[in-house]
Chain A
Amino acid sequence: MNLNARIPEGPLREKWNRYKAEAKLINPSNRAKHKIIVVGTGLAGSSAAASLAELGFELEVFTFHDSPRRAHSVAAQGGVNAAKDYKNDGDSVWRMFHDTLKGGDFRAREANVYRLAECSASLIDQAVAQGVPFAREYGGHLSNRSFGGVQVSRTFYARGQTGQQLLLGAYQALMRQKGLKNLKLHSRHEMQELLLSEGRATGIIARNLDTGELSAHHADAVILATGGYGKIYYLSTLAMNCNASAIFRAYKQGAGFAAPSWTQFHPTSLPQMGSHQSKLTLMSESLRNDGRIWVPKQKDDQRKAADIPESERDYYLERRYPSYGNLAPRDIASRAALERIEAGYGVGPLKNAVYLDFSAALEKQGAELIAQRYGNLFEMYQKITGINAYQEAMLIAPAAHFSMGGLWVDYGLMSNLEGLFVLGEANFSDHGANRLGANSLLQACVDGYFIAPHSVMDFLARAGRVPITEERQAKAEVQIAKNAAQMEKLLAIKGQTTADEFHQELGHILYRKCGLKREKSLLLEAIEDLQKLKERFYNDLLVPGDQKGINFELEKAGRVADYLDLGILIAKDALQREESCGAHFRVEHQSGEGEAKRNDAEFQFVSVWAHQADGGAKLHKEALHFEEIKTSERSYK
């Protein structure tokens, strides 16, 4: 597997400009002859598709949703980071670069992370130009707040619906191009597989989810922007339909899968309340600006939160991490919560939560100011739990949230398969082993608005077009037939267990054996459990109906089938990495104080898995080199 990251030469600060300067161009009048497929219409997909259509390329855009605006980017609440230094608090591109790299525990590519910080300011300019209603100060300037893992205020926000507003900006840009007939949009179409010509991605097979029809779509380049796969844990902050199938099938067709096991668990989700639950709702990290996290000092304390005096509360984050306190990065805050819960100090009916308490802030700043900042989050909390957080402390707990892993890409966001670009949460690029809050809306946007337009054009200029021959079409027909046969196989099982039930079990195994804490013996167990579950899946799956027309259960079954294989890959990846870094915490590798112990000598690399013909996976490594900064122990004490 060729893992040449193709990072431009020269000093860090000049790499991106050099890349752009050296990128090949295509004459505007020739661009329309090149066709690009974009799968996914979240922030990454919509922004890429709109930007490339503006340049004049021919675009075909796919989403399984009924409208591009439903992509899960819409659910991001807290904000988007940019090194504008509007607060005069010492922020800079360099500081943001450093925070992000350190936040990711030095497991990301220096050049990529620097570029993310470098492009961040332009993204805010772009979004403002689109009319995105960011929060404003009274003088009309943009407002900022703080997020975990940093000591500056660089987060821009639109109340608690930042993702929605950014996505609508990108969606509107996309719909504008559609209205201008510069692109073709296929909603309710799910990508099934890639079409490949001599190792180059030259199209996709898509399934029309309303009719069940499979069709081949040929192109000169394919962009996957299909989002994250945290939903593999079943209970997660992701939407019900988030899945890994597009990238997982690309992996099975030869694309490298990088760091599959690096999943972020968000510390401030709502806890699970019962077995009927289908998802967990996130409470934005921004709440940690004013809310204080604690558990009672006494185990099994039956008193209400408000009745427990100050002296009997353990503000464990403030105690363990005095300089960052409640704003400690997510992986650390989540593990600290788990530590307290497992030690028996958990609160709530299932004793699986900790308190997020606003009483001090309410007293000091008044309910009005708190409502202005977090009103809609408090409202959301009440809608879901029926509890008024102005009066009672919130219950929160860690939940699967974000996939730092994804398909391997080079500096131009192209995978090892030529012509296959991967954007947004679907790739592995910038967050290392732990993502800082508010950096991924940014990454999805930067990938789509600012990087893909240059790198995809450069690729097309160098590689040229791929003529649609009869041979290519015939090959696609064969592939379609095979794909249909695979679905038929799932339909033919006619067992007694639904896809959702298998998914629930899968999530349960992963949470317990490959979740916030990982340990060799448990990981080995997880692999065995998952293999057994997979066997049962293929013997006892229940999918009603057939391939024709609307069949949600068939869609789910296909996704769960991929999730089962990905689950095994995740456990293998976690097993292989004999160190703790970021969100990946191996119990065997910790300091005396329970902090993660990284092993740079042996593990300063990104693991990249190659699918093998026998179904197995082979490990490749992309070594990480740090030229401009010195890696250090990641301390937030």
Chain B
Amino acid sequence: MKLTLNIWRQAGPQAKGKFERFSMDDFHPDMSVPEMLDHLNRNIMKKGGDPIAFESDCREGICGQCGFVLNGEAHGPGKRVSTCQTHLRSFKDGEELYLEPFRAGAFPIKKDLMIDRSALDRIISEGGFVSVNTGPAAEANSILVGHQDAEDAFDAAACIGCGACIAACPNASASLFTAAKISHLALVPQGQVERHQRVLSMTQQMDLEGFGACSLIGACEAACPQGIALEHIASMNREYRKAWWQKG
């Protein structure tokens, strides 16, 4: 099938970027978007050009490594898919596509479609864990967790850390990412002791990284490949208020 691709090219974080246009007519509808880029890159390289820098690893939607904005939508048109799970069969033969990196002030562009998402790691470092060292832990079944609580905690914990929620948000807010971890740990008994400190530290780091404020638009939920729900942000805000009052 034929596609015309407009792809963001940018040599480095400080360089000026622009779209470059490529047309090829031997794409296969079953190719995933990264496979499409592999194919294109091969072509570019054989003509002596510089291949497009993009990241992608597991190619099954779980590592969170891939991701760019495809025709204006983070991870492309499909619902609950990451870029690598978007196949060319979801486009029309002859269609024109636009590929850009996830954009946010806190996600500097490294090269072409590649961005720096280390801000997300730093948010986790500020409390996205249970402070338990390795060693003899309590017998697992001595801590009961209700079936539904476990399911809800899982839904929040399923976040793959891709950053699509941030790219989709007009304010470039990292609230859904941060809230997902806060909810996961607030829903299980192990997370209770540090519950208040966690929400205060993680949200503070979120602000320090330069992510925007949340105005509950919901574009994040729509873009999330794991379908993480907006309500987690509401829970995070409740958690925050409780923690803030308690701190006094």
**Interface of chain B residues 26 through 44 with chain A (CB within 8 A):** 28, 30-32, 34-35, 38-39, 42
Given A175-B129, A544-B50, verify A70-B153 contact (CB < 8 Å).
no
B24 at the A/B interface (Cβ < 8 Å)? no
Pairwise interchain contact A176-B129, C-beta atoms closer than 8 A: yes
Partner of A128, one of B63, B81, B128, B140: B140
Distance of A496 Cα from B154 Cα, bound (Å): 48
**Interface of chain A residues 525 through 573 with chain B (CB within 8 A):** 542, 544-545, 549-550, 552-553
Pairwise interchain contact B39-A276, C-beta atoms closer than 8 A: yes
Could you mark each residue 117-159 of chain B with 1 if its beta carbon is under 8 Å from any beta carbon of chain A, else 0?
Answer: 1101100111111111110111111011111011101100110
Pairwise interchain contact A175-B128, C-beta atoms closer than 8 A: yes
Pairwise interchain contact A141-B64, C-beta atoms closer than 8 A: no
Q: Which residues of A sit under 8 angstroms from B65, Cβ to Cβ?
A: 65-66, 70
Given A141-B144, A173-B129, verify A165-B157 contact (CB < 8 Å).
yes
Pairwise interchain contact B111-A276, C-beta atoms closer than 8 A: no
Q: Which residues of A sit under 8 angstroms from B132, Cβ to Cβ?
A: 126, 129-130, 173
Pairwise interchain contact A140-B144, C-beta atoms closer than 8 A: yes
Distance of A501 Cα from B39 Cα, bound (Å): 11
Pairwise interchain contact A241-B57, C-beta atoms closer than 8 A: yes
Could you mark each residue 42-61 of chain A with 1 if its beta carbon is under 8 Å from any beta carbon of chain B, else 0?
Answer: 00000100110010000000
Given A69-B64, A449-B134, A500-B38, verify A75-B58 contact (CB < 8 Å).
yes
Q: Which residues of B sit under 8 angstroms from A121, Cβ to Cβ?
A: 140
Distance of A369 Cα from B99 Cα, bound (Å): 40
B188 at the A/B interface (Cβ < 8 Å)? yes
Distance of A379 Cα from B89 Cα, bound (Å): 17
A467 at the A/B interface (Cβ < 8 Å)? no
Given A135-B150, A161-B62, verify A545-B129 contact (CB < 8 Å).
no
Q: Which residues of A sit under 8 angstroms from B164, Cβ to Cβ?
A: none
Distance of A138 Cα from B50 Cα, bound (Å): 56
Distance of A169 Cα from B154 Cα, bound (Å): 12
B190 at the A/B interface (Cβ < 8 Å)? yes
Pairwise interchain contact B46-A176, C-beta atoms closer than 8 A: no
Distance of A137 Cα from B140 Cα, bound (Å): 13
Q: Which residues of A sit under 8 angstroms from B59, Cβ to Cβ?
A: 239-240, 278-279, 281
Pairwise interchain contact A134-B150, C-beta atoms closer than 8 A: yes
Partner of A273, one of B30, B39, B120, B146: B30
Q: Which residues of B sit under 8 angstroms from A70, Cβ to Cβ?
A: 57-58, 63-65, 161
Q: Which residues of A sit under 8 angstroms from B117, Cβ to Cβ?
A: 66-67
A133 at the A/B interface (Cβ < 8 Å)? yes
Pairwise interchain contact A129-B57, C-beta atoms closer than 8 A: no
Max chain B C-beta neighbours (<10 A), residue from A124, A172, A549, A553: A172
Q: Which of the four size classes fits the interface of chain A? A: 35 or more
Partner of B124, one of A74, A84, A175, A496: A175
Determine the residue in chain B with the shortest Cβ distance to A77.
B62
Distance of A239 Cα from B138 Cα, bound (Å): 35
Q: Which residues of B sit under 8 angstroms from A137, Cβ to Cβ?
A: 147
Distance of A277 Cα from B39 Cα, bound (Å): 10
A615 at the A/B interface (Cβ < 8 Å)? no
Distance of A354 Cα from B185 Cα, bound (Å): 42
Q: Which residues of B sit under 8 angstroms from A187, Cβ to Cβ?
A: 118, 121
A522 at the A/B interface (Cβ < 8 Å)? no
Distance of A374 Cα from B145 Cα, bound (Å): 21
B61 at the A/B interface (Cβ < 8 Å)? yes
Pairwise interchain contact B57-A239, C-beta atoms closer than 8 A: yes
Could you mark each residue 129-164 of chain A with 1 if its beta carbon is under 8 Å from any beta carbon of chain B, else 0?
Answer: 111011111111110000000000000001101001
Q: Which residues of A sit under 8 angstroms from B118, Cβ to Cβ?
A: 66-67, 187
Given A122-B136, A137-B147, verify A65-B57 contact (CB < 8 Å).
yes
Pairwise interchain contact B50-A125, C-beta atoms closer than 8 A: no
Max chain A C-beta neighbours (<10 A), residue from B130, B141, B160, B187: B141
B83 at the A/B interface (Cβ < 8 Å)? no
Distance of A70 Cα from B154 Cα, bound (Å): 18
Q: Which residues of A sit under 8 angstroms from B144, Cβ to Cβ?
A: 136, 139-141
B85 at the A/B interface (Cβ < 8 Å)? yes
Pairwise interchain contact B45-A133, C-beta atoms closer than 8 A: no
Determine the residue in chain B with the shortest Cβ distance to A68.
B121
Q: Which residues of A sit under 8 angstroms from B32, Cβ to Cβ?
A: 278
B20 at the A/B interface (Cβ < 8 Å)? no
A304 at the A/B interface (Cβ < 8 Å)? no
A208 at the A/B interface (Cβ < 8 Å)? no
Q: Which residues of B sit under 8 angstroms from A165, Cβ to Cβ?
A: 154, 157
A168 at the A/B interface (Cβ < 8 Å)? yes
A380 at the A/B interface (Cβ < 8 Å)? yes
Pairwise interchain contact A140-B130, C-beta atoms closer than 8 A: no
B55 at the A/B interface (Cβ < 8 Å)? yes
Pairwise interchain contact B51-A553, C-beta atoms closer than 8 A: yes
Pairwise interchain contact B134-A51, C-beta atoms closer than 8 A: yes
Pairwise interchain contact B157-A72, C-beta atoms closer than 8 A: no
Pairwise interchain contact A54-B134, C-beta atoms closer than 8 A: yes
Distance of A386 Cα from B31 Cα, bound (Å): 12
Q: Which residues of B sit under 8 angstroms from A544, Cβ to Cβ?
A: 45, 48-51
Pairwise interchain contact A164-B150, C-beta atoms closer than 8 A: no
B12 at the A/B interface (Cβ < 8 Å)? yes
Distance of A137 Cα from B144 Cα, bound (Å): 10
Q: Which residues of B sit under 8 angstroms from A545, Cβ to Cβ?
A: 50
Q: Which residues of B sit under 8 angstroms from A141, Cβ to Cβ?
A: 141, 144
Q: Which residues of B sit under 8 angstroms from A122, Cβ to Cβ?
A: 136-137
Q: Which residues of A sit under 8 angstroms from B48, Cβ to Cβ?
A: 544
Given A133-B150, A159-B154, verify A124-B140 contact (CB < 8 Å).
yes
Given A75-B63, A542-B45, verify A178-B56 contact (CB < 8 Å).
no
Distance of A159 Cα from B151 Cα, bound (Å): 9
A6 to chain B minimum Cβ distance, whole angstroms, is 23
Determine the residue in chain A with the shortest Cβ distance to B154.
A133
- Which B positions have Cβ atoms within 8 angstroms of A? 12, 28, 30-32, 34-35, 38-39, 42, 45-46, 48-51, 53, 55-65, 78, 80-81, 85, 87, 89, 110-111, 114, 116-118, 120-121, 124-134, 136-141, 143-147, 149-151, 153-154, 157-158, 160-161, 184-185, 187-188, 190-191
- Which A positions have Cβ atoms within 8 angstroms of B? 47, 50-51, 54, 65-70, 72, 74-75, 84, 86, 121-122, 124-131, 133-142, 158-159, 161, 164-165, 168, 171-173, 175-176, 178-179, 187, 210, 239-241, 273-274, 276-279, 281-282, 379-380, 383-384, 386, 449-450, 453, 496, 498, 500-501, 542, 544-545, 549-550, 552-553
- In the A-B complex, the 8 residue pairs with the smallest Cβ-Cβ separation, listed nearest first, are A140-B144, A179-B125, A172-B129, A129-B137, A125-B137, A51-B134, A136-B150, A133-B153
Q: What are 22 A-to-B residue pairs whose CB atoms are below 8 Å?
A: A67-B161, A70-B58, A74-B63, A75-B63, A126-B134, A131-B153, A136-B144, A138-B146, A140-B145, A161-B62, A164-B158, A240-B56, A278-B38, A281-B59, A281-B60, A282-B60, A386-B87, A386-B89, A449-B134, A542-B46, A544-B50, A550-B53
Q: Known contacts A66-B118, A239-B63; can you find 7 more A-B pairs with CB under 8 A?
A: A69-B64, A72-B57, A84-B140, A139-B144, A140-B144, A142-B140, A498-B42
